[in-house]
Amino acid sequence: MVPTHNSLCDGFTLMELLAVMAILAILVALAMPSWRATSNEALIHQAKLVLQRLAIRQHRFLRGHGRFAQQDELPSLGALGPSVAQRYELQVESGSSHYLLRLIDADDELPDLVLNHLGQWNASQVAPL
């Protein structure tokens, strides 16, 4: 006798697939805020490193020129940190004896970061590295 093959018993039912998709959607919804927070923390850390690199360049410029560099005399933000440049805008205020480096988030989702010529971070911002 030849075994009969019932094609209705093969594979998963539509309800089983929908249940699996619903469980996956719930897991992704639970994981997304944590992933976003971790991603933002990493970007803030990288932005602080970029500001510190710019501070080093400001002090090198001071030794060579007797004043701090203007914004157009510093490397672009994209050259120092492309992912930082996507989220932040750099503003530089400088004079002969001081400077202020600001990274401002256009979307207001991340904190603005400010570093001055003394290496001090703005008190209302995130603590330094």
The contacts of residue 61 (CB under 8 Å, 6+ apart) are 67, 68, 69, 73, 74
Query: Residue 118 has what DSSP assignment?
Result: T
**Alpha-carbon distance 49 to 80, whole Å?**
9
* 37 falls within a domain: yes
Contact (CB, 8 A) for 85 and 77: yes
pLDDT, tens digit (0-9, with 9 covering 90-100), for 73-88: 999 999 999 999 999 9
* 129 falls within a domain: no
* 3 falls within a domain: no
* 55 falls within a domain: yes
How many domains would you assign to the chain? 1
> In this predicted structure, what is the pLDDT of residue 3?
60
**Alpha-carbon distance 106 to 100, whole Å?**
18
Phi, psi of 121 (to 5 degrees): -85, 150
pTM strictly above 0.85:
no
* 7 falls within a domain: no
> In this predicted structure, what is the pLDDT of residue 80?
93
Residues of the chain with pLDDT under 70: 1-9, 123-129
> In this predicted structure, what is the pLDDT of residue 125?
46
| Domain ranges, residue 46 | 15-116
* 60 falls within a domain: yes
